[in-house]
Amino acid sequence: MKKPGFRRSSKGKSPNSPEGDSSEALAARAPFNQAQVLYLMKTEFARARRHGFALSCILVQVDRLQALCDIHGIDLKGKLLAALADMLGEVTRGHDHIGTATEDRFLLLLPHTAEEEAKVVAARILERFGKLELSSGAGVLPLSLSIGLVASDEQEAMFFDTIVAQAEVALEWAIEDGGNRVSCFEKDRYLGPDGTASVPR
């Protein structure tokens, strides 16, 4: 029985190698389900704290997904999420982990990745998705993402689910600020000047 959390590349080849474009290699980059990715989060978080290396967590959501589906049909949702999942597999490393956080959100775990490095990855995701060309009867759809990012390089968080919750807060900030952006979790913004937690609406 396989342990969860390890993607097998085709015939021992890295998905990032030229041969990694094969259908088998791409299938090996398919997202984990929610239970699997949370198990991985717990495992990677414990390893990061034990060995003192950075770990970043990114949450990704398609902007105005429900509105787009209302206009162009429910089948669009599956197409958009499949295209997003494929793109996430292309822009991340072989030892990064991609999973479904909810039915319309993806969670990325980036081991050995500090906040500044994670920002580069998130910006690449934002740019690449904006260039996707999905057509409807009205032409090419305008696409964008909201992305929440948190890094545990300072080891302030004691539990892995704290990191996930902080990424959710950062994602809600990105959505509230209009979407098409990356928002990083900031303790000062979350607590506010009076030290009281400010939860996104």
Domains of the chain from N-terminus onward: 18-191 (3.30.70.270)
pLDDT in tens, the chain (201 residues): 334 333 333 333 333 333 444 444 444 468 999 999 999 999 999 999 899 899 999 999 999 999 999 988 899 999 999 999 999 999 999 999 999 999 999 999 999 999 999 999 999 999 999 998 887 766 788 899 999 999 986 556 778 889 999 999 999 999 999 999 999 999 888 876 665 665 554
160-189 in b/e burial notation, b at 16+ Cβ within 10 A?
A: beebbebbbbbbbbbbeeeebbbbbbeeee
Rounded Cα distance, 80 and 138, in Å:
16
Measured over the CA atoms of residue 73, residue 78, residue 81 and residue 86, the dihedral's sign is negative
Rounded Cα distance, 108 and 85, in Å:
11
Rounded Cα distance, 5 and 129, in Å:
25
Rounded Cα distance, 174 and 30, in Å:
26
